[in-house]
Amino acid sequence: MKLVIAIVQDKDANKLRSVFVAHDIVATRFSTTGSFLRAGNTTYLVAVDDEKVDLTLQLIKETCSARQQFMTPPVSLNGDTAEHTFPIEVQVGGATVMVLPIEQFHQF
């Protein structure tokens, strides 16, 4: 059994939840915030059997696409305050995923 931790952009979170439900994948969802862009994220904790790990990763990859977007960083690249910053193009979306072994799993 594995624990899949998936951090996705809020724009993709509801769609991913629907995909998980359609494939009988149970996930715990909670809100998180990224540091550099201070954008809203959603983190899913998914405990799956070893044979469902590849399916879970494929569903995340297909649902959470990366895209380019202009953002104004909270601090400029030369260290000035936010009032002197200019928009920069950054890649947003996609997913950051970690897969960890589960030593024990209990549901009471």
Q: What is the CATH number of the domain that holds 97?
A: 3.30.70.120
Task: Give the global pTM.
Answer: 0.78
Task: For residue 81, tell me if it sits in a domain.
Answer: no
Domain count, the chain: 1
Q: What is the pLDDT of residues 36-83, one digit of tens each?
A: 556 688 999 999 999 999 999 999 999 998 888 787 766 655 655 556
Q: Is 66 exposed, middle or buried (0-12, 13-18, 19+ CB in 10 A)?
A: exposed
Domain that holds residue 19: 2-72+86-101
* Higher pLDDT, residue 11 or 50: 50
Residue with tokens 């696409």: 65
Instruction: Kindly indicate the confidence band of residue 3, based on its pLDDT and cuts at 50, 70 and 90.
Output: very high
Q: What is the CA radius of gyration of the chain?
A: 17
If we measure between CA atoms, which residue out of 78, 81, 70, 63 comes closest to residue 23? 63
Give domain status of residue 106, yes or no: no
How far is residue 48's CA from residue 74's CA, in Å, rounded to a whole number?
38
What phi and psi values does residue 24 have, to the nearest 5 degrees?
Answer: 55, 40
